[in-house]
């Protein structure tokens, strides 16, 4: 995706190579984590972003969008984190 398509403080769900991801820009940095809740396998793209976290729409588990760390139960397993590289205007994610 193009870097200009991802504004500061936003997240975008994306399917890439058979993997469902969330791409987010926080504090000028772009990060990518798995887009599926580790608790009930719900699409986190249907959730909402609060500052640097995504909140699951099903049971309100919260995850850090930069590290994938669980911030609020009932989820106990973190989201997978993916390497991101920006070249020019293009965001690349290693899946």
pTM for this predicted structure? 0.93
| Whether pLDDT at 24 is above 90 | yes
C-alpha 61/C-alpha 84 separation (Å) is 24
**CATH number, residue 88:** 2.102.10.10
20-46 average pLDDT score: 96
C-alpha 62/C-alpha 90 separation (Å) is 28
Pair of tokens at residue 50: 């609060």
The total number of structural domains that make up the chain = 1
| Whether pLDDT at 16 is above 90 | no
Angle at CA of residue 63, ends 38 and 9, nearest 5°: 135
> Which of 71, 18, 74 lies closest to 42, judged by CA?
74
Domain that holds residue 51: 3-93
Residues 47-59: tens digit of each pLDDT: 999 999 999 999 9
> What mean pLDDT value characterizes the chain?
96
């Amino acid at each position: 995706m193009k870097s200009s398509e991802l504004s500061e403080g936003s997240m975008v769900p994306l399917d890439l190579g058979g993997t469902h991801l969330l791409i987010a820009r926080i504090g000028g940095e772009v990060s990518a984590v798995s887009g599926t809740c580790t608790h009930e396998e719900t699409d986190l793209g249907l959730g909402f972003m609060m500052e640097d976290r995504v909140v699951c729409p099903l049971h309100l588990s919260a995850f850090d969008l930069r590290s994938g760390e669980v911030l609020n139960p009932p989820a106990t397993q973190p989201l997978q984190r993916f390497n991101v590289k920006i070249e020019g205007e293009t965001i690349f994610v290693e899946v």
